[in-house]
Amino acid sequence: MNNKDYYQILGIDRHANSDEIKRAYRKLAFKYHPDRNINNKQEAEDKFKAAAEAYSILSDKQKRLQYDQYGHENYHEFDHQKSDLNVEDIFSSFGDILNDGLGGFTDFVETTKQQGDNLRIKIRLELNEINNGIIKKIKVKRMKFSKDVQFKVCPLCHGTGSINKLSHTFLGQIQTTINCTQCFGLGKLILRIPRGVNNQGLKQVEELINIKIPAGIKNKMHIKVLGKGNDAPFGLGQKGDLIVLVEEIPHPNFQRNGDNLFYDLYISIPQAILGTYEYIPTFNGTVRIKISPGSQGGKILRLKGKGLPQMNGFGRGDLFIHINIWVPKTISQEHKLWFQNINKDPHFAPKHNQNNKSFLDKIKEIYYND
């Protein structure tokens, strides 16, 4: 933070309009530009940054209003944003102002950061693979830099990748550094490209990649395998990544919601009346459960910790068993007469208990009372 009042730094009065603020800043930015003050670069750079700091506040209506209201010292206690600017930040933020009539300021430093393209694949997983976690070996076609490509040093930049540019303006000359226009910042030119290699020095190869699938991963999640995408052009730069989309294959017995599993159990009318024991498959073995006499259709039983593992490694979801009473569509004449006889029995008359939870209440209990 500069200790001098921002209006004083720009040499304007407190009633200056936006155009006057802009003109004052441009004048100071040109005067104290680091490239124009080689013999006194540090002092010029400090004044150059002070002018930029003042302009960043006074050119913003809201910030200027707060600055005028609180004063110079109190404003920085009110505004906790970082005000330490470096030269590159200034050109990035105010390049349009500096370039308007000062030509070449926005080209102060230009660099080319190359990165290989990311690759995207889809992988289908069985529910038991999701339960256990697994390492999948997948063949992936990716573009890899060919070591058979031959280069020569760029004659224009002599391998540096950058050249100096002299810009002529009505206020003088500005020397800036830009990417080499011949090698585009690479520092080298291609001498020979072998057959099967593209003009970026890349060749398609098939590679076997190990993809670690964590236990409990969810459908439509993405896994990023670093550095297993395409190589950067000419191998100069960071490799791309392999983005793996997980697609869960529907299970014939279980339905999934988060870390919980749902299983439909069908029992007969006699089993519902008399009670029974049933064996339920889980991913950790078979579990024997008791069906109490008089169980109603729609009843939900909960087996704690028999669902899928949580991805964070702490605990497992639950297995919910939904009881369905199976009613035959056709029965014999004998059975039909028997049911007609007991139909008049009061024990078989439906009785609604106000204390019984509805199916909707049971579902809410599952999702909101874990």
Which residue ranges make up each domain of the chain?
A: 6-106, 119-248, 254-368
CATH topology classification for 6-106: Helix Hairpins (1.10.287)
In terms of Cα–Cα distance, which of 293, 364, 353 is closest to 323?
293
What is the mean predicted confidence (pLDDT) over 11-24?
A: 90
Equal fold, 6-106 vs 119-248:
no
In this predicted structure, what is the pLDDT of residue 54? Answer: 87
Q: Output DSSP code: residue 252.
A: S
Q: Let me know: does 116 contact 237? Beta carbons within 8 Å.
A: yes
Asked whether 229 and 204 are in contact (CB, 8 A), the reply is: no
Mean pLDDT for the stretch of residues 81-91 = 49
User: Residue 264: beta bridge partners?
Assistant: 322
CATH architecture under which domain 254-368 falls: Sandwich (2.60)
Distance CA 50, CA 56 (A): 10
Contact 174, 106 (CB under 8 A): no
Query: Is 106 a residue whose pLDDT tops 70?
Result: no
Q: What percent of the chain has pLDDT over 90?
A: 45
User: What pLDDT shows up at residue 280?
Assistant: 96
pLDDT for 185: 79
The token pair that represents 81 in the structure block: 């944003």
β-bridge mates for residue 321, sequence order: 263, 301
The CATH superfamily label for domain 119-248 reads Urease metallochaperone UreE, N-terminal domain (2.60.260.20)
179 compared with 368, residue with greater pLDDT:
179
Q: Which range (267-276, 287-296, 337-346) has the least confidence?
A: 337-346
101-127 mean pLDDT: 68
Could you tell me the sign of the dihedral formed by the alpha carbons of 12, 18, 22, 23, in that order? negative
First to last CA, the chain: 52
What mean pLDDT is predicted for residues 3-19?
A: 88
Q: What local confidence, expressed as pLDDT, does residue 82 receive?
A: 44
> What pLDDT does 108 receive?
37
Instruction: List phi, psi (to 5°) of 19.
Output: -65, -40
The bridge status of strand 162-169 relative to strand 172-179 is antiparallel
Q: How many CB atoms lie within 10 A of CB 269?
A: 13
What is the predicted pLDDT for the residue at 230? Answer: 95
For the chain, counts of helices (H) and of strands (E)? 9, 15
List pLDDT tens digits, range 227-248. 999 999 888 789 999 999 999 9
